[in-house]
Amino acid sequence: MAATNSASPPLVFELAILFHQLLKCVRQFLESNDLDFRAVTEMRKNLARAGVKKASEEFSTSVAAPTGIIPEKDLTKPQLRYKEFVEKVAPLVLDRKLKKVQFANDPKAKLLGCTQWSPKDYIFTINVAKHDVEDWERNYDLFIHELAHFYVQRNDHLFEDFWRAVSDIGAKLAQVALERPELFPTSVRQPELLAA
């Protein structure tokens, strides 16, 4: 009997079917990704037309922190109040170590704030040249945003888990506000009364 290395006809047939199915899966995967990409691109164009800024224009997408760190002794009262808030509330929202809250005055940096992290802890930097610490609505916004970066350990704003982290941290912050209202400045609740 002559030896043969070729597969028997039924096996070849089965392999051909499997290969065809594999190609079909790859094509479907590529097509779905392409559709997603086109949808995201179109969504970005629509947002730009509506005047919505890119996330990278509002917040940091780079791990490079602003320069011009303000010495602790030179911090203003509103800056110290925000620092105190972040130091007390962040550990209640995220079960990870907040290493430091610091302020920078860097007009050249586009970012409002920045989170530098290691797997264990993170540094929260606020750029006072671009962020008004007396505006508490924006303070909460920055707080949620920067903690979300640490939570997912990424700077990508389109990373799906990033928006999930933002939503989760926002929900936890609301819960902390109800359970520990003394940690929140009264100016947030009734700014018009304080301005009078």
The residues that touch Zn ion, with contacts defined as CB under 5 A, are: 59
Smaller CB separation from Zn ion, 59 or 122: 59
- Of the two residues 75 and 173, which places its CB atom closer to Zn ion in the complex? 173
What is the smallest separation between the CB atom of 57 and Zn ion, expressed in angstroms?
11
In degrees rounded to 5, what are phi and psi of residue 132?
Answer: -90, 105
DSSP labels, 38-104: HHHHHHHHHHHHTTPPPHHHHS--SSPPPS-BPPGGG--HHHHHHHHHHHHHHHHH-SSEEEEEEEE
Is 125 in contact with 103 (CB distance < 8 Å)?
yes
Q: Can you tell me the distance from the alpha carbon of 186 to that of 193, in angstroms, rounded to the nearest whole number?
A: 10
Question: In whole angstroms, how close is the CB of 157 to Zn ion at the nearest point?
Answer: 6
Q: Output the smallest distance, CB 47 to Zn ion, in A.
A: 16
**Least CB distance to Zn ion at residue 104 (A):** 16
Q: Tell me whether residue 59 or residue 150 sits nearer to Zn ion (CB atom).
A: 59
Closest of 112, 92, 103, 74 to residue 184, by C-alpha = 92
Q: How far is the CB of 44 from Zn ion (least distance, A)?
A: 16
89, 181 Cβ separation under 8 angstroms: no
- Residue 83 or 157 having the CB closest to Zn ion: 157
Q: Name which of 59 and 124 has its Cβ closer to Zn ion.
A: 59
**Within 10 A of 113 (CB to CB), how many other CB atoms are there?**
26
Q: Are strands 113-117 and 97-104 parallel, antiparallel or unpaired?
A: unpaired
